[in-house]
Chain A
Amino acid sequence: DAGVIQSPRHEVTEMGQEVTLRCKPISGHDYLFWYRQTMMRGLELLIYFNNNVPIDDSGMPEDRFSAKMPNASFSTLKIQPSEPRDSAVYFCASSLIYHYGYTFGSGTRLTVV
């Protein structure tokens, strides 16, 4: 199994631009999670899906952030418009059953200048 795959690994964009981060979960995993990691706040849960349906998006910081999961093998996290304070590492994780272990992707390092 290739694990959780995220793309791109690095993204540098200018303030105001739209950014789309992508994630392919492990095949067969029913749960998908988006996390953000910063030095100040550590790892924060943004949103998670169960069977492609968003369950809890209370961690999404603003309306500028949106996430979709059109099918079981693909999810996107979009920021529009991006701001410098969105600079962080964004992780995607998946789980077969949420109270079992989570497998994390390698992350996307986003820099907004």
Chain B
Amino acid sequence: KQEVTQIPAALSVPEGENLVLNCSFTDSAIYNLQWFRQDPGKGLTSLLLIQSSQREQTSGRLNASLDKSSGRSTLYIAASQPGDSATYLCAVLHRSSSGNTGKLIFGQGTTLQVKP
């Protein structure tokens, strides 16, 4: 059974700091891994998607890496800002045993607070 774990559950940093959020998954049979952002009371916004054949993706101050063999992904946020405060969710699209469908399985998230 695929399980996704995110560490830490919460993180508080001063503005300007570089930070890393961690995600691990138990089964390497994945199509891709996706990082989302969720603001309080809001929906999910997709940040980065890494296909299983890729190692990393970058968007602005965000960089996500994927090591499928070890079941790990990291989200790196450079020069953090108070506006980055939100919950960050990691999700893997798990490949079914038949290989032709998948389920997006989420971690519990890391709640980030960036202090001015």
What is the chain B residue whose CB lies nearest that of A4? B43
The number of inter-chain residue pairs (CB within 8 angstroms) is 48
With A and B bound together, what is the CA distance between A90 and B24 in angstroms? 25
Please give, as numbers and ranges, the residues of chain A lying within 8 Å of B106 by CB-CB distance: 42-43
Interface size on A, residues (CB 8 A): 20
For chain B, what secondary structure do more than half of its interface residues adopt (helix, strand, loop), or is it mixed?
A: strand
With A and B bound together, what is the CA distance between A102 and B45 in angstroms? 9
Interface residues on B, range: 20 to 34
With A and B bound together, what is the CA distance between A62 and B104 in angstroms? 21
B103 in contact (CB, < 8 A)? yes
A48, A101, A103, A105 interface centre (most CB from chain B within 10 Å) = A101
What is the chain A residue whose CB lies nearest that of B52? A99
8 Å CB contact of B103 from A45, A91, A105, A109: A45
With A and B bound together, what is the CA distance between A56 and B106 in angstroms? 17
Please give, as numbers and ranges, the residues of chain B lying within 8 Å of A100 by CB-CB distance: 32, 49
Please give, as numbers and ranges, the residues of chain A lying within 8 Å of B32 by CB-CB distance: 99-100
